[in-house]
Amino acid sequence: MFVFSLHKLINIIAIAGGISVCALCLMQITATTQLTKKVRNYFHVFFVSIILYISTHLAREILEGIPGSAVRKVLYSVTFIELIFAAMMALTISALLLFVSKIERSKTVRLLFFLNIVFLCHLLVLSVCQIFGVIYFFDDKNIYHRGQLYLLSNLCPLIMIIFDIVILGLKQKNLKKKVKTAFWVYLLAPAAALFVQSFSKDIQYIIFATIVASVYMFSVIVSNENEEFQKQKIASSRIDAELSMASSIQSDMLPSIFPAFPERKEFEIYASMTPAKEVGGDFYDFFLVDDDHLCMIMADVSGKGVPAALFMMASKIILANNAMMGKSPAKILEDTNKSVCSNNREKMFVTVWIGILEISTGKLTASNAGHLYPAIKDTDFGFDLFRDKHGLVIGGFAGAKYSEYELTLKPGDSIFVYTDGITEATNSNNQLFKTDRMIKALNQQPNAAPETTIKDVRSAVDLFVAGAEQFDDITMLCMKYKGKGQ
């Protein structure tokens, strides 16, 4: 029959209360969004282990003293599970301590491997000793007794406590004071409870101390994670603001007022750039070198984001400065390459297409440094690729030489240059937009104004990708030659 005592009643009530508290902690873990994924996972495992640990202990408290062989089997089982989850709690706390101590990843992997080996050995020892009843046993009245090798049941938790103490000593500089204190409280509270329990063996002070210390440690780490989350949020907001400003600065560096030259009736030009990130590495440029020469540039810097944007700004300035000196396209590329290579420790590069239009005659002199083929629209045949000769990318080799070629544009002819954000735009099936689709889009309205031409291509790309994420900058420039008499 059930053996009732005031001590047992106190244990049952306190353990049931502990289960409720741990369940509330689990609910808070699920509801709290500021916890990192690993910390959330560690605490999930930890509090589930505590609940199972104290639940099995509660079951033993209730069943102990009730006679019967079936009850004895249940008592052996729940006690075995209780010891397993006591070790699981120790393993989880050690793993959590490794994570919050910010130890190098390779060392963390090796230490976690060691802890798991200890835990598995502990399971093996418990399983063997369970058979022979040398760690614990129940007498004929189903009363719990410690066996001769009872200390083996605490060997794994003891090893992990020693491990935690060593980590706390070696990595204390990596931990905030309150986090370090919380771990010390968790490690020392059971020892203090064990001392108190030596004077009153009937009340389970160790379980009570474990629950209180666990909840305290949880609250401290959650508070610390919240603080870190707020700091990261503030830092992220500052970075977002700086990137937004950088994007504005970058946009301001590109010609963006259209019509660009309203007083010039001989040609019409339009361009656009949509970065894949806040700032991009693609750029275009166009400007009058003098009254009779229009320079047009399309370029694509290696990489993405802030580094590419910085390299883009430097390259744009160097190209423009060389062009404004009246140099030929090939010479502009050669001198720009020389300047870029002179201080390019990051080994970045940029592909460039540059063309200079003699407005009075329609003669276009161009040079290509590893960029995509331009598309030329002939008044009789529509847009098609012009497969020009490619030179080496800018930044590739200091002594690179570049060739140039000449085309004569007739009134009504157009030139379209772009970056690989167009041809390599990808839909959800990982299919590329490719050049053929671009040419088809260009020829929807081959005689349209440059702005309409660019919008037609962009609409075709958007329709093709159907909302799939953009991984590359999308940059285009179109110039329509109208002739001197227009």
**Domain spans of the chain?**
6-234, 256-481
Q: How far is CA 66 from the centre of its chain?
A: 57
Place of tokens 């992220």: 236
pLDDT at 200 (0 to 100): 63
CATH assignment of 6-234, given 3.30.499.10, 1.20.1070.10, 3.40.50.880, 1.10.1200.10?
A: 1.20.1070.10
Residue 466 has pLDDT above 60, yes or no: yes
Q: What is the mean pLDDT of the chain?
A: 88
Of the given ranges (164-178, 350-364, 441-455), which has the lowest mean pLDDT?
164-178
**Mean pLDDT of the region 407-415:** 95
Fold match, 6-234 / 256-481: no
pLDDT at 279 (0 to 100): 61
Q: Is 291 buried (19+), middle (13-18) or exposed (0-12) by CB count in 10 A?
A: exposed
Residue 290 has pLDDT above 90, yes or no: yes
**Which residues touch 257 (CB under 8 Å, ≥6 apart)?**
none
Higher pLDDT pick, 279 / 127: 127
Residue 26 has pLDDT above 80, yes or no: yes
Give strand pairing partners of 375. Answer: 385, 416
pLDDT at 486 (0 to 100): 55
pLDDT at 1 (0 to 100): 46
pLDDT at 3 (0 to 100): 52
pLDDT at 246 (0 to 100): 67
- Name the pTM for this structure: 0.61
b/e per residue 332-344 (b: at least 16 CB within 10 A): bbbbbbebbbeeb
The answer to whether residues 336 and 321 touch, using CB atoms and an 8 Å cutoff, is no
pLDDT at 4 (0 to 100): 55
pLDDT at 280 (0 to 100): 66
pLDDT per residue as tens digits for the range 297-326 = 999 988 777 777 888 889 999 999 999 999
pLDDT at 407 (0 to 100): 95
- pLDDT bracket for residue 468 (50, 70, 90): confident
**Mean pLDDT of the region 425-444:** 94
Instruction: Return the axis-axis angle of helices 155-170 and 105-132, rounded to nearest 10°.
Output: 160
Instruction: Return the axis-axis angle of helices 69-100 and 205-253, rounded to nearest 10°.
Output: 40
Higher pLDDT pick, 7 / 201: 7
**What topology is assigned to 256-481 in CATH?**
Phosphatase 2c; domain 1 (3.60.40)
| Report for 223-232, 344-353, 408-417: range of highest mean pLDDT | 408-417
**Mean pLDDT of the region 242-265:** 82
